Amino acid sequence: MKKTALRWIVIIMVMTLFISIIPTHFLYAATTESNVEQPNGCTQAEINRAYALHLVPSHLQNNYDAITTRAEFAALAVRLYEVLADTAVSGRVSFNDTDDANVQAAGYMGIVTGTGSGNFNPDRALTRQEAAVIVARLAQILNHPLQHGITLFTDDNEISSWATVAVGQVQAVGIMQAIDEATFAPRSTLTHQEVIVIVLRLHDAVLAPVIDVYEYGLEPEFEPAIDAEFSLSQIGFEERMLSVYGGSDIINRISAANWVYEITTLANEGNREAQFILGVMHSGGYGVDQCYYTANELYRAAIQQGLARAKANLGMNYWLGRGVELNYETAHYWVYQAAQLDNAFAQANLSAFYSQGTGVIQCYERAYYWTRLAAEQGFAGAQSNLAVQYRDGRGVEQCYVQAELWVRLAVAQGNVWAKSHLGGMYFNGHGVEQDDVQATIWWRYAAELGNMTAQANLGWMYVRGRGVEQNYVQAAVWLRLAAEQGSAFAQSELGWMYSNGRGVERDYAQAMIWKRLAAVQGQTVAQSNMGWHYLFGRGVEQNYVRAAEWLRFAGVQGNVWSQERLARLYLDGLGVEQNYAQAAQWLRLAAEQGNGWSQGQLSRLYLYGTGVEQCYVQAVRWTRLAAEQGYASSQFQLGRFYRDGIGVEQSYESALEWMSLAMAQRYWAGEFEYALLNIRLAVGDLEADD
């Protein structure tokens, strides 16, 4: 016994000596793995990338396992904003208990609000739910609001009410996840390396292409915010500028140069029209160096002389953060001033403010009001948007007749979005007779003009052979054009084509590239497909952990296939720790959408009280729903319930009826029980129903 104890002492001493001489970078690689949120981890490469992007202040570039304070995370948040916005935060909000400039800047930005009584408590450890709220607010300020998601953590009730929405958002886009596949631990702390990864993920999310996620046949609700350059058409300046870029002969180039000199001179002399035009030139880099700051100064000069167009353009630059710090409230102020002066450009954009809730409380009725004013002035973009409002009943009673009227007025002016919308109206039969051929014609008009939505929809029509002869090669052409512009729908469809070798050579690696681009934008089908790739090892090494991550993203958005597959993983303990309670949650979500397999499995959990409280009534309910969809195993199980009187009144006739349906589908697993029931009834061992 003494020799055994001595042997263990020697072994421990040798191991201790061995560990003490391991190089530090090996120790780091071993220890950091245990501190990460997700299985793919906080790698050295990720931290190095965060450094290369200048996202990490110097005082956080070491001691990765240290607990992050509130002040330290404020510094990270401010640094991320300054890197992405390419401008320093100049404003400050004071707190009683700190002079930290980053904390004061974060307060000015509105991403932190303090702990009450004018204090911030800078040295207190940051909690995970506080981090989620700051991340969500910062994303909003960066003009990249995070999509909403539902939380399915076992400790949802521990998340504070003020953080619930933010936690759902950061989970939905993958910035923060559960710490053990089940709990969020809202009041737990975060290490330096964890917050670095969180900030890096937000950085990547903001820079990812952002478009409206739509299903086929539905177009973005509003045109994108109209840049200042679009106002050129209002003042007849577009034709003059053609000579700068479109002229090939020396005379045009000289006249253009003289004209730029002339307009600059007039602007310097105080001519407000010239000041506005020169501002537009600086905003777009037309004939002069592009400089938003100079453009804004010129707009301000024109504003002092009462020019409404200058107010509109200055407001839009505040909305986009061009040459000024992004500020929705200031943007609204200037655009509203111009809109009140009947500037159609400003009215059209003010309607978008109200539709999106940007700088104002979201109000579809106000959005409709301003859209209508701009449309009645002949502004084509507003006419197109007004058609959408009538089509969807946003802020006004739904009326397809009015929708068609306004969309055709915009089409008559050549508005490309209106052509795309008209295609959608023909496809859905809104205000016009449903006609796939006409839908295809209008989408082709818009697609050839570069409209991303129309390109994606036209590609879809070629895939399905609707309105055109089915042609996968043509489908791939149009889908690729839309995908390269950032259409998540087109990226997902193109990925499907590569997976199945339709119109392109089958290539799972290419399929994953396109699906991943769509998935990071929140496209549910693409997220589900990413789970499929990892689940079955198509184009990538099989990895149940990564499969579970992607399936969860799609599952929280309601994708029933992902919910079912994630439930299977929890039932079998593949990629996640086996957890029947979690399996039951995902099964219920899928079952409530009519997924028969999930209904059958959920009934079993209720029957045996596995992961849920045992309840025969619920077991019968879900079994019946699956049986009515034709699932043989559920049909036979329902027969058992009737035979044994479990959860229902005993009925041998009903038992035989349901078992017979299963046997008709060759459910041989129940052959013996079925035969035995028939024999017992035949010999009188069981009494038939009255």
Q: Which string of DSSP letters, residue by residue, matches 112-155?
A: ---SBTTB--TTSBPBHHHHHHHHHHHHHHTT-PPPP-----TT
Mark 241-267 as b/e (b = at least 16 C-beta within 10 Å): bebbeeeeeeeeeeebeeebeebbebb
CA–CA distance, 137 with 113 (Å, rounded to integer): 11
Instruction: Give the pLDDT band (50/70/90) at residue 107.
Output: confident
SS3 call for 636: helix
Q: How many CB atoms lie within 10 A of CB 306?
A: 10
pLDDT tens-digit profile of 440-461? Answer: 999 999 999 888 999 999 999 9
CA–CA distance, 669 with 53 (Å, rounded to integer): 61
Looking at residue 174, what is its pLDDT?
A: 73
Q: What is the largest CA-CA distance in the chain?
A: 112
Q: What is the dihedral of CA 470, 476, 477, 482, to 10 degrees?
A: 120
> Is the Cα torsion angle 131, 136, 137, 138 positive or negative in sign?
positive
Place of tokens 């953060």: 321
**CA-wise closest residue to 371 among 384, 358, 356, 357:** 384
Range 379-408 average pLDDT: 91
Looking at residue 669, what is its pLDDT?
A: 86
| pTM, rounded to two decimals | 0.60
Cβ contacts of 52 within 8 Å, gap of 6 or more: none
Range 621-649 average pLDDT: 93
**CA-wise closest residue to 474 among 428, 440, 430, 442:** 440
Cβ contacts of 12 within 8 Å, gap of 6 or more: none
Range 341-357 average pLDDT: 86
Looking at residue 236, what is its pLDDT?
A: 41
pLDDT tens-digit profile of 16-70? Answer: 333 333 222 222 222 223 333 332 333 566 777 777 778 888 777 777 788 999 9
For residue 436, how far is the Cα from the chain centroid? Answer: 30
Token digits for 1? 């016994």
Residues β-bridged to residue 116? 119
CA angle 657, 658, 664 (to 5 degrees): 90
Token digits for 641? 């319930």
Looking at residue 269, what is its pLDDT?
A: 87
Asked if the model's pLDDT at residue 165 lies above 70, the reply is yes
Between the alpha carbon of residue 325 and those of residues 86, 101, 111, 318, the distances in Å are 10, 18, 15, 7
Q: What is the dihedral of CA 299, 300, 303, 307, to 10 degrees?
A: -10
CA–CA distance, 346 with 332 (Å, rounded to integer): 10
SS3 call for 189: strand
Range 256-275 average pLDDT: 78
Kindly state the helix (H) or strand (E) to which residue 164 belongs, with its residue range: helix 164-172
CA–CA distance, 628 with 634 (Å, rounded to integer): 9
pLDDT tens-digit profile of 464-519? Answer: 899 999 999 999 999 999 999 888 899 999 999 998 899 999 998 899 889 988 88
Asked if the model's pLDDT at residue 430 lies above 50, the reply is yes
**CA-wise closest residue to 128 among 180, 62, 56, 57:** 180
Looking at residue 44, what is its pLDDT?
A: 65
Instruction: Give the pLDDT band (50/70/90) at residue 679.
Output: confident
Place of tokens 């780091």: 28
By the 8 A CB rule, do 186 and 166 touch? no
Q: What is the dihedral of CA 146, 152, 153, 155, to 10 degrees?
A: 100
Instruction: Give the pLDDT band (50/70/90) at residue 9.
Output: very low
pLDDT tens-digit profile of 75-86? Answer: 999 988 888 777
The H-assigned helical ranges of 449-543 are 452-464, 472-484, 488-500, 508-519, 524-536
Looking at residue 225, what is its pLDDT?
A: 34
Range 588-601 average pLDDT: 93
Token digits for 488? 């998540």
Range 257-268 average pLDDT: 77
CA–CA distance, 364 with 394 (Å, rounded to integer): 6
CA–CA distance, 341 with 302 (Å, rounded to integer): 15
Instruction: Give the pLDDT band (50/70/90) at residue 390.
Output: very high
Cβ contacts of 404 within 8 Å, gap of 6 or more: 387, 425, 430, 431, 432
Range 164-183 average pLDDT: 76
Instruction: Give the pLDDT band (50/70/90) at residue 181.
Output: low
By the 8 A CB rule, do 27 and 11 touch? no
> Is the Cα torsion angle 616, 617, 620, 625 positive or negative in sign?
negative
Looking at residue 220, what is its pLDDT?
A: 29
User: What is the residue type of 656?
Assistant: L
> Is the Cα torsion angle 391, 392, 394, 400 positive or negative in sign?
positive
SS3 call for 519: helix
CA–CA distance, 436 with 386 (Å, rounded to integer): 24
Query: If you write DSSP's letter for every residue of 278-322 in order, what string do you get?
Result: HHHHHHHTSSS---HHHHHHHHHHHHTTT-HHHHHHHHHHHHHTS
Q: How many CB atoms lie within 10 A of CB 72?
A: 24
For residue 503, how far is the Cα from the chain centroid? Answer: 28
CA–CA distance, 334 with 341 (Å, rounded to integer): 11
CA–CA distance, 593 with 598 (Å, rounded to integer): 10
Cβ contacts of 653 within 8 Å, gap of 6 or more: 688, 689
- In the chain, the N- to C-terminal Cα span, in Å, equals 77
pLDDT tens-digit profile of 118-134? Answer: 888 999 999 999 999 89
